[in-house]
Structures are given as C-alpha cells and as structure tokens.
Structure 1
Amino acid sequence: MFKNLIITLLGLFTISCAEDAKPKPSGELRLEYPAAKYTRYSSPCGFSFEHSAFAKIENAKNECWYYISYPEMKAKVFITYFPVKNDFALHIKESEKMVYEHTIKASAIDTKSFSYPERKVFGNFYELKGPTASNVQFFVTDSTRHYVTANLYFNSRPKPDSLAPAVDYIKKDLQHLIDTFEWR
C-alpha cells in the first residue's frame, strides 16, 4: 500500500511539472471613445466654436476663461480669452513661453500654423510629445482685437503611451474646434 502511494505521488509530481509561472507586466486598459459629435458654443466674449458633445464646458475664474472638461478621461482644456490692446506681441510671446517651458520634458514639439482669412482666424497649434504636463496647446487670434489660448491637461501623471488614445481623441476635437472657430 505504501509502495502504491509513493508511485502515485511520483507520477503526479512528474506529470505536474511544467514551466515556472512568470509574472505578467502591468498594463493599462484599452480605452475606446464614442464617435465624435459636436455642439456649438457661443461665448459672451465674442467668439463661438463647435466642441465635442462628449465634453462639458465649465466656467473658470474669469468670465472669459473656460474649461472644456472630459470627465471620463480626467482631462481639461483650459481656454482663456484676452482682448488685444496694443499688446499683441506680448500675447504671442506668452503663448510661446508656455509651450517652450516644456522643452525640458518634451521629446519633440510639432508646430502647425493655420489661417482662415475669410473668418479672420489665425494661429498656431502645438503638439508636445513625451512626458509633458500639457500635450496640446494653441492660440487663435484675429490679429487686431481678440486673442484666445488653449492648453490640454490631464489629471494624472504624464505617461505618453497610456495617454496616447485620449490625447489623439482630444487633439481631433481641438482641430475641429479651430476649424469651426468664429469671431462675432
């Protein structure tokens, strides 16, 4: 009987031997977002644009400052409006300063200029790559009286690989915002 037990145990040990278990690397969830639908927003500060229906517009501190909030992505686009009063060059320098402060962490900064003369909408769109605090920034102006800036921020540590789907989604929304931007 004891002999049969030993043979059975040896058989089980031989059969049960397999590769050692290896820990799996931690991963992030795959995030999918709804198809883009847009809603027009008219600011009392003299401009309008279309924004994603997936996002909400919230007021910030100032009457002409807004957040476009993406609660499911833990992201906000901070939009500020400034009237231009002989300080146009100062606004441009301030916008560029905000972008290029990220050069310490950014692996690249792609700049695209845009111009819609029929609507008097001009500006630059900046995409910051790498572990930066802000991934997308832009400014819109009519170059004489109005100036709007926008910065995208996530309420999380900057992990470029994990944030890439959300950044791409919001980047497309912001490009649509610029394409539909109008002064009133």
Structure 2
Amino acid sequence: MIRFFYYFMGLLLLSACQDNTLPKPKAQLQLEYPYPVYGKFNSNCNFSFDYNSIAKIKAEKKCEFELHYPKMKATIYLTYKPVTNNIDSLLRDAQKLTYDHVIKADEISSQPFINNTNKVYGMFSEVGGNAATNAQFYVTDSTKNFLYGSMYFYAKPNYDSILPAANYIKNDIRKIMETVAWQ
C-alpha cells in the first residue's frame, strides 16, 4: 500500500510538471515626454505666443507656421489671417475644417476660450477617434487678428497608439492659446 502511494505521488508530480503556456495580456508602451519648457515666439504677423522648446518652428509662407515635434512625428500647423470685415467667414471656415473630420471621428468636443485681459477669444476642439487630426483651435480679437491651428501626426490614425503624444501636444496648444498676444 505504501509502495502504491509513492508511485501515485511520483506519477502525480511528473504529470503536474507540464509546460502550459498562458497567453500574456496585451500591454501598452509607456511613453514619457520631457517636462515642457516654454519659450516666446514673436512672429512678423502681429502676434506672439509661448511654445514648447522641443518643438521646432518652421515658417512656410507668409504668416503660416509649422511647429514640428520630431520625436512624436507630429506637427501643429498655424495660419494667421488679418480680419477685414470677414470674421464670419473666418469663423465658419475654422469650424468647417473641424467638422470635416466627423466621418472618422468618434466624437468632437469643443471648449470656448476667453481671455478678456489680452482680448483673445477662441475655441479649442478635440477630435476623438481615428481622425486625421486630434485637436484644432482658433483664436481672434474679433477686429484685426485671427489665428487658426491644427495638429496632425505622420502616421495612420490609430487613436489608442497616439493618445499619449496627442495629450502632450494638446497641453501645448492650450499654452499657445493662453499666451497669444496681439501686437
């Protein structure tokens, strides 16, 4: 009987040592970005703002600028236009550009921006889902100046993958809006 017990325990131990592989849960890459350090950008187009020093500014055409984030493969495109009795048209065009992404977007949420001290008024729009842009904004003083901006990534839109970088750059966009000063 004791011999049977030892055989049974041995057989049990040998059968318990199988190499069962279990699927590993999906993990997300943890991306960490540097704490933003802001510098002042003075344009020749009647405005200035603070921008993140990791972004590289490139002037394209007169009053069109690009803020490149090379490590994130993203760009904020900025376009300045003077207001000459065309504020309704500029506002309509800015809102149309945002809502052109409604086909791919899961949601679009907009937040008004008001800074009475510096006479800066605008709208910040977040585009959720696999749309080409994740954020767009405009600011204006309603009488002379209008600045429009949008963020794009150099990759096929995959909302989950670019979300950490998009959130980081959205904070930079908010900083731009908060620090715009008209000249």
Q: Where on the TM-score scale, by shorter chain, does this alignment land: which range?
A: 0.7 to 0.9
| C-alpha displacement of 1:31 | 1.2
> Which residue does the alignment assign to 1:10?
none
CA-to-aligned-CA distance 1:66-102 (integer Å, 9 cap, x gap) = 0011000000000000111221111111011101111
| C-alpha displacement of 1:123 | 0.5
CA-to-aligned-CA distance 1:11-36 (integer Å, 9 cap, x gap) = xx9686321x4665776532110011
Letter in 2 for 1:46: N
> Quick check: 1:123 aligned with 2:148?
no
Q: State the SS of the aligned residue for 1:158.
A: coil
> Which residue does the alignment assign to 2:59?
59
Letter in 2 for 1:161: D
Q: State the SS of the aligned residue for 1:73.
A: coil
Q: State the SS of the aligned residue for 2:117.
A: helix
> Which residue does the alignment assign to 1:44?
44
- Find the aligned partners of 1:35 and 1:174 in 2 and give their Cα distance: 15
> Which residue does the alignment assign to 1:177?
176
The runs of 5 or more residues in structure 2 that have no matched partner are 1-13
- Find the aligned partners of 1:154 and 1:25 in 2 and give their Cα distance: 28
Letter in 2 for 1:17: Q
After TM superposition, the structure 1 = structure 2 runs for residues 1-184 of structure 1, keeping only pairs within 5 Å, are: 17-19=18-20, 21=21, 29-60=29-60, 62-184=61-183
CA-to-aligned-CA distance 1:107-154 (integer Å, 9 cap, x gap) = 111111111122110110001111110000000101011111000000
How many corresponding residue pairs? 173
Letter in 1 for 2:94: S
- Find the aligned partners of 1:112 and 1:14 in 2 and give their Cα distance: 63
The runs of 5 or more residues in structure 1 that have no matched partner are 1-12
TM-score (norm 2): 0.87
- Find the aligned partners of 2:158 and 2:26 in 1 and give their Cα distance: 14
Percent identity between matched residues is: 38
CA-to-aligned-CA distance 1:144-173 (integer Å, 9 cap, x gap) = 111110000000011111111101101111
| C-alpha displacement of 1:59 | 1.3
TM-score (norm 1): 0.87
